[in-house]
Amino acid sequence: MKKILFIVMVFALIVSCNSKPASDEHASMMKMDTCCVVDSLRDGVFIHITESYNDPHRVLMPLKMATMMAMDKKVLVYMDIKAVELLVKNAKDLTYADFESAHTYIKRLAEMKVGVYACPTCLKVAGFKPEDLMDGVQIAQKDKFFNFTKGRIITLDY
């Protein structure tokens, strides 16, 4: 008896899921509402970089990804630990085969209005002050981590 009841319930569920809406107007409205909600949200990419001169690939790959993703996604770049060394004025530029330089990416990100943030504690530990940061780089603020996008947040950690 339980098996028959289960089969009847599954059949009813399948029929209700496949039934046509009461009117084409209702279906059109449902489709429009879904479309508008999806279009109003913009997913974001949070990129976290910890390396510096000792591993240029781990720095330049995420900076390149940030510039590419910023073309159609909200992007935030957070640099801490050793990476803050790259963000100060007069920092030696970083290069690696098949990538543009770190300064080039950071400048491009600033032009694209992408937030590039330095950890304030890591900056202090490295012997720098907020006023030492190059143009386009800001001190990290926790509120920025949650408010830079309205959609989902994807995190890439390097």
Query: Does residue 71 fall inside a structural domain?
Result: yes
Residue positions counted in the chain: 158
Query: Does residue 141 fall inside a structural domain?
Result: yes
Query: Does residue 142 fall inside a structural domain?
Result: yes
CATH number at residue 144: 3.40.1260.10
Query: Does residue 18 fall inside a structural domain?
Result: no
Give the CA diameter of the chain.
80
User: Above 90 in pLDDT, residue 32?
Assistant: no
Report pLDDT digits (tens) over 134-148: 999 999 988 878 778
Phi, psi of 79, rounded to the nearest 5 degrees: -120, 125
With cut-offs at 50, 70 and 90, classify the pLDDT of residue 37: very low
With cut-offs at 50, 70 and 90, classify the pLDDT of residue 59: very high
Query: Does residue 13 fall inside a structural domain?
Result: no
**Residue 38, pLDDT score:** 45
CA distance 82 to 94: 13
> Please, is 79 exposed, middle or buried when counting C-beta atoms within 10 Å of its C-beta (0-12, 13-18, 19+)?
buried
Using CA atoms, how far residue 32 sits from 110, 147, 152, in Å, is 36, 27, 21
Query: Does residue 134 fall inside a structural domain?
Result: yes
Query: Does residue 112 fall inside a structural domain?
Result: yes
Residue carrying the six token digits 């496949």: 18
Choose among 92, 100, 107: nearest CA to 54: 92
How many domains is the chain built from?
A: 1
pTM over 0.75: no
Tokens standing for 151? 């959609």
User: Above 70 in pLDDT, residue 128?
Assistant: yes
| Structural domain of 138 | 42-157
Report pLDDT digits (tens) over 78-119: 999 999 999 999 999 999 999 999 999 999 999 999 999 999
Query: Does residue 4 fall inside a structural domain?
Result: no
Cβ–Cβ contacts within 10 Å for residue 93, how many?
10
